[in-house]
Amino acid sequence: MAPRGTAQQRGIARLLLYFGWTWVSLIVSNNVQSEIFARDLTQEMSQHGVCVALTERIPEPDYYGTRQVEILYQKLNDLSANVAVVYGDIDSIITFKWVVSMVCVIGKVWIHLAHFDDTVINNYNLPSNSFEGSLSFSIHTDDVPSFQDFLLAVNPSKYPNDVFLKDFWEIRLGCYFEVSQQKRDSTCTGNESFYELNLHKTDMELTGLKHTLYSAMYKVARALHEMLLSRSEMETSGTEDTVVPHPWQLHSFLRQRQLNANTGEEQYTDGHTQSVLSYDILNLQILKMGTLIRVKIGEFKPQASLGNDLIINKEAILWNSGFLQTPPGSVCSNSCLPGFRKTSLEGKAICCYDCTPCPDGEISNLTDSTHCLKCPVDEYPNVQRDRCLPKVMAFLAYDELLGIVLVSTALSFSLVTALTLGIFIKHRNSPIVRANNRGLSYILLMSLMFSFLCSLIFIGRPSTVSCLLRQTAFGIIFSVAVALVLAKTITVVLAFRATKPGSRFRGWMLPRVSNCVVLICSLNQVTICGVWLGTSPPFPDFNTQAEFGHIILECNEGSITAFYCVLGYMGFLALVSFTVAFLARNLPDTFNEAKFITFSMLVFCSVWISFLPTYLNTKGKAMVAVEIFSILASSLGLLGCIFGPKVYVILLRPDRNKRDQLLRKLNVNIKTP
């Protein structure tokens, strides 16, 4: 006859989840029914991420001694779980409540069924501070008309055959109907009423448990009425024994549809308990006068959809005064804030965990995240790592400070080179210009001017054209410049050899020899660059890993092997030029060009040797800036070391720029052993 209670476990789990209580104790009676309830509730809670911190069995009342009380007190007070679910038979619960009240277990939220409250309110001598603020699930009840009026009018004289009413009367009034056993002044008349009782200590409310009993009795009475009515219609005759129905004869009538005792709605039992449409969630509150009342603070509807099944009015709840914060918390580990993820602890329940910051490049934007999410390639985590921010497109631009400095430097050096070329052209017939193959000098100055200007291709937003021109133009122009230096060095060596009488090197002094050196050395580099562009050319690319929070627009070299082949061939030419110039440094030369070439190639090689490790250890815009700096520094080294002394002689020491001095110096050097 009682409605089905299987939805209570789901309702309790939903209530725990609503308040964020994931670490709870479970206290049940030591019987089979309570074990089944505990098993089902544990399964339901685990599905919602709620863990059981402690499962305590309530011993039989006769086995509650001092030791058991101390153990229970220590377990409940030392436990970090502030919420406890209690379930069991009424006798065990009454005993348990006495123990909890006596040992003053405070600061707990008790969640239970409605008859738990009945045992507190009806036992008015029970200290109840420990259970203040407890929550209970009660079957939703509708008002029964005139129910309280009926209770107030009840007395033993009106219902003399009700033995339970007599016992209740004696307990509440302290009188006795059997005068032979007590004094006459304590005799119950049976005509007293509830008005004479302490109403504030008497529960006049129709609770879920009482409503269940009321509905069951109503259904039995209705079935009995239907059975007797059917017999009268059949006009059967029989003895008095046959008129009185047997209990089993009611079964067929109980299976029929009956009207609800309160609402008048039809219900159908059919031998099975009925499902509950909804549960009232009650809060046990203590008024100023010490009166205990149950206040409805919510409702659970098992048949409603998730999210609409639980309704809670937080403002109506009065929590236990032992809590410093409201609503109280009951967790094994504090919640992990956004930016962190939960890390399980070995050997601990799933509700006990550590909070670990999200790794680089990942975020968590929810509380208690179990894993972090990786930001898209075009976004990066903020400092708190709780959201992704769009990355800023970055490249070495003309309008930023570094770009302005590099552009100004490149243009300034190219202008200086152009002025040097102009000076050489103006003084093209002077001995110092003619003595060192002025044609090669002109081409070398033009190559250096282009090398300064080619650094501008590295600045600005990368495009397909700029990426194709960057390394190839730089490699070819520098190879031409170094080849010219090599040709000038060879010219110095051949010039010295050709001055000796009968020398066979006179035929090598023709301009075509030096031109062939420059052409062959340059064509080799052009071939390498052509193969590079034909197989795996450079292309614009996005680098999302170089700088935090930025997307670097850069040129992908395509083939790293080809790129290092270009650098390697240029280094090979520089090394050969340096070796030849070093060997010719002591040859007779009025203007010491061999020595200047040696020093210039030493500077050139030093720049590019230091370039490689620096280039490999930088990223983003810094990598481009390093390469531009190397281009400018090496070009300036060639310009300053080779042409600087000559410009100095032309402009400031014209007395040394004479043919007779050149011949006199040459003769002196030849006679020197």
For the stretch 43-98, pLDDT in tens is 988 888 888 888 888 776 655 555 666 677 677 766 678 888 988 887 777 777 77
Residue 418: pLDDT band by 50, 70, 90 thresholds? very high
- pLDDT value at position 532? 92
Q: Is 329 exposed, middle or buried, given 0-12, 13-18 or 19+ CB atoms closer than 10 A?
A: middle
- pLDDT value at position 246? 74
Strand 83-87 versus strand 109-113 pairing type: parallel
For the chain, give every domain's residue range.
Answer: 5-141+277-316, 145-205, 340-390, 401-667
Element (H, E) at 76: helix 66-78
526 CB contacts (<8 Å, ≥6 apart)? 476
Write out the DSSP string of 324-364. Answer: SSSS----SSPPPPTTEEEEEPTTS-TT-EEEEEPPTTEE-
To which CATH superfamily is domain 401-667 assigned?
Rhodopsin 7-helix transmembrane proteins (1.20.1070.10)
Question: How large a percentage of the chain has pLDDT more than 90?
Answer: 14
DSSP character at residue 455 = G
For the chain, give me the number of helices (H) and strands (E)?
20, 19
Q: Please name the CATH architecture into which domain 5-141+277-316 falls.
A: 3-Layer(aba) Sandwich (3.40)
Mean pLDDT for the stretch of residues 293-301: 87
DSSP character at residue 131 = G
Q: At what angle do helices 511-535 and 464-498 cross, to 10 degrees?
A: 160
Nearest to 477 by CA among 516, 458, 456, 449: 449
For residue 374, the SS3 value is: strand
pLDDT surpassing 80 at residue 330: yes
Distance, first Cα to last Cα, the chain = 133
Mean pLDDT for the stretch of residues 174-202: 62
**Residue with structure tokens 């070329």?**
421
5-141+277-316 shares its CATH topology with 401-667: no
Dump pLDDT digits (tens) for 212-247: 777 778 888 888 888 877 776 655 555 444 556 677
Mean pLDDT for the stretch of residues 476-491: 85
Highest mean pLDDT among 117-131, 271-285, 335-349: 335-349
Question: How large a percentage of the chain has pLDDT more than 70?
Answer: 77
For residues 225 and 212, what is the distance between their CA atoms, to the nearest angstrom? 20
Dump pLDDT digits (tens) for 509-539: 556 777 888 889 889 999 999 999 999 999 9
386 CB contacts (<8 Å, ≥6 apart)? 337, 338, 339, 363, 364, 365
For residues 632 and 269, what is the distance between their CA atoms, to the nearest angstrom? 97
- pLDDT value at position 585? 66
Mean pLDDT for the stretch of residues 138-160: 77
Alpha-carbon Rg for the chain, nearest whole angstrom, is: 51
**Residue with structure tokens 């490689």?**
612
**Number of Cβ atoms within 10 Å of the Cβ of 53:** 21
For residues 302 and 11, what is the distance between their CA atoms, to the nearest angstrom? 7
Q: Is the dihedral of CA 477, 482, 487, 491 positive or negative?
A: positive
For residue 589, the SS3 value is: coil
Nearest to 204 by CA among 170, 161, 153, 163: 153
Element (H, E) at 29: strand 23-29
Element (H, E) at 418: helix 401-426
Residue 323: pLDDT band by 50, 70, 90 thresholds? confident
**Residue with structure tokens 């062959």?**
520
Beta-strand (E) ranges in 148-237? none
Nearest to 339 by CA among 291, 296, 301, 375: 375
- pLDDT value at position 133? 85
Dump pLDDT digits (tens) for 622-644: 888 998 999 999 999 889 988 88
Strand partners, 86: 27
Strand partners, 390: 379
- Mean pLDDT, the chain, integer: 78
- pLDDT value at position 268? 45
